[in-house]
Amino acid sequence: MDLEIKTSRSGGWLPSQLVVLADDQRIELKYFSNKVCVLPSMHF
């Protein structure tokens, strides 16, 4: 569950959706999570 920790560290803007998506799209989620982590605009 690397995604859960990453999302939690990012701020947990949408952990539920991320976890659900990870079940079907782990690779895409990884890429998306990385982009969000790098994006400074995502500061909810």
Block means of pLDDT (10 residues each) for the chain, length 44 residues?
51 55 57 58 52
Q: Residue 23: its pLDDT value, please? A: 60
- Whether pTM > 0.85 for this model: the answer is no
Q: Residue 6: its pLDDT value, please? A: 54
Q: Whole-angstrom Cα distance, residue 14 to residue 6?
A: 11
CB-based contact 11:41 (threshold 8 Å): no
Whether residue 44 is contained in a domain is answered as: no
Q: Residue 35: its pLDDT value, please? A: 63
| Structural domain that includes position 15 | 2-38
Whether residue 15 is contained in a domain is answered as: yes
Whether residue 6 is contained in a domain is answered as: yes
Chain Cα centroid distance, residue 41: 15
CB-based contact 42:10 (threshold 8 Å): yes
Residue count (the chain): 44
